[in-house]
Chain A
Amino acid sequence: MNDVKFNKIIIFINSLVPLALLAWDASRGNLGANPVEFFLRTTGVLTLIFLLVTLSITPLRKYYGWNQLIKFRRMLGLYSFFYGFLHLITYSIFDKSLSVSAIAGDIWQRPFIAVGMFAFFLLIPLAITSTSGMIKRLGGKNWQKLHRLTYLAAIGGVVHFWMIVKSDVFYPLLFGIVLAGLLVYRIYLAYEKPNLQSEK
């Protein structure tokens, strides 16, 4: 077993810890007065955290040269999808009793639901094309282009979070600032590269 493999196991297990604790607390009736809301909020925040961690891999590689990190990016991205899926399923079952018309009505009447739903649906093609086989089939360039949808999904996720809070925007703002930093760094890289070449 090499170190990358072992590190993958560490990340895999640690990423499941919040879910394990949620399940443990739920089984003991310890999720508080409104367990559904707590589960929804926690899975939603986890989706965003994993999305932002996934988006920080490239900046960390470029800035610190930690190229090994690329080996963990797929798993982190898939965890974001996984927690987003739990978030959507919890909402669909407990809030909407799996009624398609109720969900459609909600999307229509409540912009924050529409935005959140949009962001999640952007993640679906990304999860499907996350395998090595799919990367080969699409070709690296195309795959990379497609996976830039992550930026839009992350923006959508943060906006969705912003829209649900009543007045205290601290956490949505925090996520927004981190996301803005990660995106601005990419823009900086895109403009920086041609300059370096022209200097040579």
Chain B
Amino acid sequence: MISKKPSDIKSSEITDEQIFLNRRNFIRAGVLAGTTLATAGVYRFINPPPPKAVVTAEIQGITKPTDFRTEEKLNTFEEITNYNNFYEFSTSKTSVARRAENFITRPWTIEVGGLVQKPKTFDIEEILKFSQEERIYRFRCVEGWSMVIPWVGFPLKTLLEKVEPLGKAKYVAFQTLYDSEQMQSSFSAGIDLPYVEGLRLDEAVHPLTILATGLYGKQIPNQNGAPLRLVVPWKYGFKSIKSIVKITLTDNEPPTTWNIAAPREYGFYSNVNPNVRHPRWSQATENSIGEYTRRETLPFNGYPDEVAKLYEGMDLKKDF
């Protein structure tokens, strides 16, 4: 562009100073609004709102036994289904619901074998026909938070009896599905997959130990471990393995995922114990989801009367 000498410019061509300033301010307001919106957009992209609540089928004929239920206030369905540790889908608790949305849980079979008289592969539809009951349990995560959850399920013992464990069987090993097409890699999850867990046989047949098929009266949503998960309410949540495909009775203590990842932090037993410290999270107190201050954590997560006798004579600080 050829610039004109000042004398060439007609006074009518010169933008009035007021208009120039207004235009400048107008552009500035635009730039300010634009960048602010862009920043807000980036924030929203990183922190998206939770997905719509999943709707799963009702479970029919649930019995509601009067024992096995705490009287504490239940956590909402929204809380329970949008704050999950399920590393196969995401290591962010608030992202699991979205990532697990399309998880395929039918057809689904659970192979039960090992040291048993009658090994059997169960179809999930058959398991859903077992008589189902509601269990309202406290749930304590090793990360120092807790919830109260109305599970639907049945005692693990019911299933184990059907395969008739041999006298040699001392432990029960569990395995989660691992499907690399639907789940992230072991590398990005940061733990060995498939996820494995285990219980001692007496823990496994304890009346509090259940296999859960639902929550809030409906079939369990994907992010909570569909279609079948373990719930052991006196142990830290990671023991309650999700989306089970295999159950094996063994005579030796089976390997467990978090114990492999960090043996000094997570023991085989992992009973809720306010007296065993963890390097990152307080185990003496917990954040009960829905409350803003922390409360005391109870030994065995509030179930000492039921389960303390399982560990008589053991040093639970050593066998944590």
Contact = CB atoms under 8 A, between A and B. Distances in A.
The answer to whether A and B belong to the same complex is yes
Interface of A: 6, 9-10, 13-14, 17-18, 21, 30, 32-38, 42, 94-95, 97, 106, 109-112, 163-170
Contact of A167 (B35, B145, B189): B189
Given A95-B294, A168-B189, A42 B287 contact: no
Interface residues of B, number: 38
Contact of A34 (B83, B91, B279): B83
A6 B145 contact: no
Top 6 A-B pairs ranked by shortest CB distance? A167-B190, A33-B83, A168-B91, A33-B79, A17-B39, A168-B190
B294 A14 contact: no
B35 A14 contact: yes
Interface in B162-211: 188-191
Contacts of A106: 282
Given A21-B43, A166-B190, 9 more contacts: A13-B32, A14-B35, A17-B43, A21-B47, A32-B94, A34-B287, A35-B292, A106-B282, A166-B91
B43 A33 contact: no
A109 B277 contact: yes
Given A33-B289, A168-B91, A168-B190, A10 B279 contact: no
B87 interface: yes
Contact of A14 (B39, B75, B277): B39
Nearest to B147: A33
Nearest to A15: B39
A158 to B, nearest CB: 16
A42 B44 CA distance: 12
A14 B36 contact: yes
A36 B287 contact: yes
Contacts of B87: 167-168
B36 A97 contact: no
B280 A112 contact: yes
Contacts of A166: 91, 143, 190, 280
Nearest to B49: A30
A13 B36 contact: yes
Interface string B16-58: 0000000000001001100110011001100101100000000
Contacts of A110: 279-280
A49 B93 CA distance: 22
A170 B190 CA distance: 9
